[in-house]
Structure 1
Amino acid sequence: MAIVYDKLLNWSFPDLEHRYTAKDTILYALGLGCGIDPLDRGDLAYVYEAGLKVLPSMAVVLGYPGFWLKDPATGADWVKVLHGEQSIRIHVPLAPSGTVIGRSKVDAIVDKGPGRGALLYSSRRIIDKASGTLLATVSQTTFLRGDGGFGGPSGPVKEPFAVPDDRAPDLVAARRTAANTALIYRLSGDFNPLHADPDVAAKAGFKAPILHGLASLGVATRALVDAVAGNDPTRLKALDLRFTAPVYPGETIATEIWRTDEAAVFAFRGRVVERDLICLGNGRVEIAQA
């Protein structure tokens, strides 16, 4: 079955109500490796209910519609789907608990041609159920590797943010993940067996289950909040990045950060220290002034 452009572009998503508690917020942070060092008081704020803080990247797991492209009616070859890029916009800081509505939609589909696949741009608005306040908008680019040549538009294609490659980073913040990080992170809602079952990982060509891309994003977010926002997660206003390589649980992600001409904007990328490999690229983060 092939993609039908109009059908996929107008895919209907029901509003998804999501109630979460302080326990869910703590579990999300534990799934990023927060608390590996029990004496790290900066991390403690995200994994201990007394004065609990919320990492802004938690928006990616709220109101999540699941792996909807696996539905045969989409026409997509779901086995070849890759998560390419992710953006987060925080409009109001997230509370440690609450009930939200996730409202998803497909924004655009770009046909790159036969043999080249397609790009699907989608977004989700996360709305506080009680007040109707828009809390966050999360957007992603999905690469449909097996679905080009269906006769859709060839553009526009989102241009990635350029990270400086002519000078060393101004700051580097390294954070180690634990060997069981993926097994914890999946409890926040992404149960793809690729991140848990060694046999599934081997069939996909990996030596072991890999860390979720959005977990790698969360690790970088935690590093950025600490390095450029004074460990105040409410100051992070926006974040964009591209996924460039998988991370294995237990590896260390070094977030390399550059100042830009805009005082409130930093460029960044993530490097797997053990393999000297870029896992997150084209990163941009916007921080509110203190």
Structure 2
Amino acid sequence: MAFQTENFSKPEKVVPSLCDGYVLGNGYVEYTSRDTILYALGLGASEDPMDRRDLRYTYENSEDFGVLPTFAVLVQFLLPQVTSVHDCPGIPEFNPMLLLHGEHKLTLFKSIPTEGHLRVVSKIRKVEDKGSGALVNIQLHTYDADTGELLTINEPGIFVRGIGGFLPADRKSAGSSKPSVLIPDKEPDFVYTKKTSASQAILYRLTGDRNPLHIDPDMAAVGGFERPILHGLCTFGIAGHGIIKEVCDNEPAGLRSIEGRFSSPVVPGQSLRVEMFKGNSKETILFQVRTVETGKICLSNGVAQLNVPTNAKL
């Protein structure tokens, strides 16, 4: 894989003109059904070995063996796209423990095959000044390397604490770059609850994100946390799994896109409650994820678009 590796001096502040459009990576990755099964297990699938709905994602000899669509978020870690933000000539030096995943959107154009050879092209779309830090908006296009077909687009928003303040006050961005999603003030139409295990992050990291923030207490402390926290994308995947199970009759092809904002950390061992609401159209589900023990919303601004016709319970 080719990355831009020219020698350059790191700036003292973010230089947007050197960031926008910067190519982070253009390379290839292969995966097998072992990787897709490990991902499903990392989300807590098949904790009940008699749950035949989960066996669809964890047992390769199932008649309907398939892949949870949010598996597609892993390509950014199988290829070190996000960590390559540090190499951008317009980004100053920063401690990797101060990098947080702020928000994410995944759009699917085809079903994810159980094994594949992919080409991933990623770039920085833009960098926003949030005052206390910078929001680096990345876009990753994933293609079938053999046919050239576009499979997915990932759009992570990476928040780097401590490198904000690079724009005049009147050009700073307040809050998120996306409008807030108004969750209805009523009981959810669908609910999916998942109790995470105390070792959930230790297992999930084997899917590709080896950030020590999620396993090393000392590194978590550097990041400002009392103990290692769960990967935001694990929560994201649990939400997607819940939507597919509860709304799409466990049909992975029912999910067309999913997005959300990581609003508070989750400690492994806590329970997650995915609260889903019917949107203004049959294709739209609004959702949020609540940490049961604290009552806090840990994933907000959730929107899922569904493919129809489907077996969706709408």
Indicate the TM-score class for this superposition, using the shorter chain for normalisation.
Answer: over 0.9
CA contact (8 A) 2:21 2:126 kept: no
Structure-2 residue corresponding to 1:26: 37
Counterpart of 1:233, as a letter, is P
The percentage of aligned residue pairs carrying the same residue is: 36
1:75 aligns with 2:92: yes
| Greater alpha carbon shift after TM alignment, 203-212 vs 37-46 | 203-212
Q: Are 1:107 and 2:120 matched, yes or no?
A: no
Instruction: Report which stretch shifted further, 189-198 or 149-158.
Output: 149-158
Q: Which residue of 2 aligns with 1:59?
A: 72
- Aligned partners of 1:161 and 1:283 also within 8 Å: no
Question: In the TM superposition, what is the alpha-carbon distance from 1:287 to its structure 2 partner?
Answer: 1.1
**Aligned-pair CA distance for 1:154:** 4.1
Instruction: State the TM-score, normalized to the length of structure 1.
Output: 0.92
3-state SS of 2:202 partner = helix
Q: Distance in 2 between matches of 1:145 and 1:201?
A: 15
Residue from 269, 273, 287 that aligns with 2:292:
273
Aligned counterparts of 1:266 and 1:161: Cα–Cα separation in 2: 15
**Rounded Cα–Cα distance in structure 2 between residues aligned with 1:72 and 1:287:** 36
Q: Select which of 148, 164, 170 maps to 1:132.
A: 148
Tell me, in whole angstroms, the C-alpha distance in 1 between the residues paired with 2:88 and 2:24: 15
Whole-Å Cα distance in 1 between the matches of residues 222 and 98 of structure 2?
Answer: 13
Deviation at 1:213, TM superposition (A): 0.4
Q: What corresponds to 2:55 in structure 1?
A: 44
* Corresponding letter in the other structure for 2:92: G
1:144 is aligned to: 160
Going from structure 1 to structure 2, the CA distance change for 1:165 and 1:278 (only over 3 Å counts) comes to: same
1:200 corresponding residue in structure 2: 219
2:23 is equivalent to residue 12 of structure 1:
yes
Over 3 Å counting, the alpha-carbon distance change for 1:116 and 1:14 in structure 2 is: closer
SS at match of 2:24: coil
Separation of aligned partners in 2, 1:76 and 1:258: 42
Q: Check conservation: 2:19, 2:126, Cα contact below 8 A.
A: no
Hey, what's the Cα distance between the residues in 2 that align with 1:160 and 1:48? 40
Does residue 277 of structure 2 align to residue 255 of structure 1?
no
Partners of 2:199 and 2:160 lie apart in 1 by 29
Structure 1 residues 240 and 160, CA gap change in structure 2 (3 angstroms) = farther
Q: 1:200 to 1:117 in 2, by over 3 A?
A: closer
Deviation of the 1:234 alpha carbon: 1.0
Does the 8 Å CA contact 1:76/1:146 hold for their aligned counterparts? no
CA apart distance, 1:229: 0.7
Q: Is the 8 A contact 2:184 2:277 kept in 1?
A: no
Count the aligned residue pairs.
Answer: 288
Cα separation, 1, equivalents of 2:133 and 2:270: 31
Tell me whether 1:91 sits opposite 2:109 in the alignment.
yes
Q: In structure 1, what is the Cα distance between the partners aligned to 2:271 and 2:55?
A: 19
Aligned-CA RMSD value:
2.0
Please state how far the C-alpha of 1:164 moved relative to its aligned partner.
2.0
Change (3 A) 1:261 1:277: same
What is the distance in 2 between the residues matched to 1:175 and 1:33?
8
Gap runs ≥5 in structure 1: none
TM value normalised by structure 2: 0.86
Q: Work out the CA distance in 2 between the residues paired with 1:31 and 1:71.
A: 29
* Alpha-carbon offset, residue 33 of structure 1: 0.8
State the distance in 2 between where 1:264 and 1:203 align: 42
Judging changes above 3 Å, is the alpha-carbon distance between structure 1 residues 90 and 199 closer, same or farther for their aligned structure 2 residues? same
